[in-house]
Structure 1
Amino acid sequence: MKQKRLCSTIILILILIFVVTSCGNGEALNEENLSSSFLSGEEISSYFPAKEGRYFKFSGIGNEFAAFNKEVKFKNDSLVQIHENNGGTEMAKVYKITDKKVIQLVEETEFYSEENLLSDIEENKQFEEVILQTPLEVGNSWVSGETRRKIIAIDKKIEVPAGEFSNVIKVKITPRDENRQFEIYEYYAKKVGLIRRESKGEGYRVISELESYGQNYDSSTSKKNKIQNKKIDKELTNATNVRLALLAYQLNHQVEATFQAAYESYINLDRLTDNRKDGFNLIIKLLEKNLEDITTKGEIEEQVKRLKEYHQNNEGELTFPTHEVVKNAKVIERSEDWAKVELKVMKHYPKREWNGEAYNSLVKYIINLSYEDEEWKLDKVIIE
C-alpha cells in the first residue's frame, strides 16, 4: 500500500514538473485567455432555450417600445414559435434551432391570435435569417438577410435587473447596406437566452434588459400539453418546494464549506509544502474536483476565480461564520428542470484579533438550481 502511494506521489510530481517546464519553454499557457476566445463543446440551443411556456419580461429605456414581453407559445421538434408584445403591437416569430444555427423563418406583426404556425411552416416561411451560429468563438461572423453579425465576446459578465450572468455571448449586428448606419448588440446567457439588447444610431440609443423570466403552465393550448402541465403542477407541490429550498441551502452550504477548506489550505500553504506554486495548483484541482458533483461548471469557475483573485491580491484574512440560522426560505420560480430559491440566513461571526468583536450578519441569497444528468445542482448564487 505504501509503495502504491509513493508511486502515485512520484507520478503527480513528475506531471507537475512537466507542466511547469513546458510553460517555461514558450508562451505561458493561460487557461483564462483560452476560455475567453471560444466556448468548447457548448451547444447553441443552450443559449436559445425554447421550452414551451417559458416567458421573459424586459424593461427598457430610449423609446416607448423598449420594454416588451415574450413567451414561447409552441414547440415542435426543431421549430419554435415565440410571441412578443411591446405595448404597441404583438408579433409572432418562428425559429428553427439546429445543432449549429438558430434561424428565424417568420415575423408576423399585428398577430393577436393563438394560431400555431409550425404545422405549415413551409407555406408560412417568409425568409431565413441566421440569428446565432457555431462556432461560438470570438471573431466568428456571418452575413444573413439584411445584416452582418459577429461574435465579439463570449466571456462577458453582465448584470441586468433579472440578475448577474457570466460567460455571456455578445453579438454585434450591423447593416449590409452601407447607406444605413446603426449598431445593435445582443447578449445571450446560457440556459436563459437573450438578456440584453442595445440599439444605437445617429441621435438615439435604446436598451432592453431582462427583468424577470419563468415558466407559464397555462400557455399550452393542446390537450396533451394541458394534461402534462397538470401533471407537472401536481408534482411541484408545496412539499416539493420545501425540498427544493432545503436542497438549495444544503448545496450552497457545501459550496461555501468546500471553498473555506481550499482557502484555509492556501493560508497554511507554507506550513504544508515547500513548493508554493505546485501546492496552490493542487489546491485548485482539489477545489474543482470536490465541487463538480454539487454545482455546475460556471459556479466552479466562479469559486476558482475567487480563490485566484485572493491569491493575487493577498488581502487580509477572511472570516467565516461559526454557525448560522435560516430565517426565511421560499421558492420564487420553478419548473421541472430549474428553480430559483430565496434564502435569508443569519450568520454568526466570532471575535477575532483582526476584525474586532463578534457580530451577526443577515445575508440574502438568490440561488438558481438546475436539473442535469438526473440530479439537481447549484447553478448560480447571487448575494444581495
Structure 2
Amino acid sequence: MKRFLFLIIPFLFLIACQANEEEIIEPNNDTPTSAENETTIQDKTLAEFFQEDQTIANFKGEGNEYASYTLQTQHPYENYVVTYEDNGGTIVQRIYRITKDNIGLLSEMGEAYDPVIPSFKELESMQVIDIYLAAPLEVGTRFNDWEIISTLETVETEFHTFENVIVIEKKEEQGNITRKFLVKDYGEIKREFIMVSDEAEVIVTSTFEKLL
C-alpha cells in the first residue's frame, strides 16, 4: 500500500490615478487595447495561484509517510512557473505555462535531482500535457477529469486560516477521489486523496504548514 501511494501521491498531488493633462495626446498604436488589457488581468489572476518566486514551503502529511513534502517555487520567465516537490522519496519537477484561459502543465519529471530549466524558446515550443487549473474560476467549471466544486471553502492550517478557497475534485471509476485546495497568493494549500478499497477507506492529506 505504501509503495502504491508513494507512486501516485507525487503525481496527484499585481493603480495609480493620473491627473488630466491640458495637452491633447494623440492615440498611440502601441497602447494596449481593451482586449489586451483583459488578457493581462486574467493572466495575472491565474498567476496568483502560485507562491512567489524562490519560495520554499513545507507541507505536513497525514496518512502516508510520503505525504509530507517541501515545495520550492520558481518564476524563471513571465507566465512560466517551475516547482520542485520533495517528499523524501523523490523530487518531482513540474513546469507550468499561464494563459488567460488556464494553467497548463508542460512537464512532470520524477527523480529531478539535477534538473535543468528549459530556455524561454524551448518553453514556448512545449505542448500542454495536462490542465492544472482553468477559468472561469466558478463552481461547475470542468477541465479534463477535474471540476471546481467550491470557491468559498475555509481551510484551517497551522500557518493560517484561509477563506475563499477554491476546491477542485477528480473522481475515478474505482471510487477514488482526489481534491486540491487552492487560494490566491499561496496556490495549492492542501491536497487530499481518498482511496476506497474492500478493506477500508484510506485518506491521505498534505496540508500547508509553514514557509521556510
Asked if 2 retains the 8 angstrom alpha-carbon contact of 1:168 and 1:189, the reply is yes
Structure 2: how far apart are the matches of 1:99 and 1:60? Answer: 33
- Within the alignment, does 1:212 sit opposite 2:195 as a pair? no
- When the two structures are superposed, what TM-score results if normalisation uses the length of structure 1? 0.40
Displacement after TM superposition at 1:50 (Å): 4.6
In our comparison, the structure showing a higher alpha carbon Rg is: 1
1:170 corresponds in structure 2 to: 167
Greater length-normalized contact order (CA 8 Å, ≥ 6 residues apart): 2
Structure 1: how far apart are the matches of 2:211 and 2:100? Answer: 25
Alpha-carbon deviations, 1:6-33, whole Å to 9, x = none?
A: xxxxxxxxxxxxxxxxxxxxxxxxxxxx
2:47 corresponds in structure 1 to: 45
Structure 2: how far apart are the matches of 1:74 and 1:209? Answer: 23
Q: Which amino acid aligns with 1:85?
A: D
Specify the SS of the correspondent of 1:121: helix
Displacement after TM superposition at 1:108 (Å): 0.6
Asked if 2 retains the 8 angstrom alpha-carbon contact of 1:172 and 1:183, the reply is yes
Specify the SS of the correspondent of 2:47: helix
Q: CA RMSD in A?
A: 2.0
Q: Which amino acid aligns with 1:167?
A: N
More helix by share: 1
2:69 corresponds in structure 1 to: 68
Displacement after TM superposition at 1:99 (Å): 2.2
Displacement after TM superposition at 1:118 (Å): 4.5
Displacement after TM superposition at 1:117 (Å): 2.7
Alpha-carbon deviations, 1:124-179, whole Å to 9, x = none?
A: x4752111111111111122xxxx1111110111101211011111111123xx3x
- Within the alignment, does 1:198 sit opposite 2:192 as a pair? yes
Number of residue pairs aligned between Structure 1 and Structure 2? 165
Displacement after TM superposition at 1:122 (Å): 5.8
Specify the SS of the correspondent of 1:44: helix
- When the two structures are superposed, what TM-score results if normalisation uses the length of structure 2? 0.71
Specify the SS of the correspondent of 1:181: coil
Structure 2: how far apart are the matches of 1:194 and 1:213? Answer: 13
Among 152, 155, 161, the alignment partner of 1:155 is: 152
- Within the alignment, does 1:108 sit opposite 2:109 as a pair? yes
Displacement after TM superposition at 1:81 (Å): 1.2
Change (3 A) 1:49 1:73: closer
Identity fraction in percent: 27
Change (3 A) 1:52 1:183: same
Structure 1: how far apart are the matches of 2:51 and 2:157? Answer: 21
Structure 1: state its 5+ residue gaps: 1-40, 215-384
* Regions of 4+ moved over 3 Å: none
Alpha-carbon deviations, 1:292-349, whole Å to 9, x = none?
A: xxxxxxxxxxxxxxxxxxxxxxxxxxxxxxxxxxxxxxxxxxxxxxxxxxxxxxxxxx
Structure 2: how far apart are the matches of 1:131 and 1:94? Answer: 11
Specify the SS of the correspondent of 2:53: coil
Displacement after TM superposition at 1:114 (Å): 4.3
Alpha-carbon deviations, 1:229-252, whole Å to 9, x = none?
A: xxxxxxxxxxxxxxxxxxxxxxxx
Asked if 2 retains the 8 angstrom alpha-carbon contact of 1:79 and 1:118, the reply is no
Displacement after TM superposition at 1:189 (Å): 1.3
Structure 2: how far apart are the matches of 1:100 and 1:213? Answer: 29
Q: Which amino acid aligns with 2:207?
A: E
Asked if 1 retains the 8 angstrom alpha-carbon contact of 2:52 and 2:185, the reply is no
Change (3 A) 1:87 1:126: farther
Specify the SS of the correspondent of 1:198: strand
Structure 2: state its 5+ residue gaps: 1-41
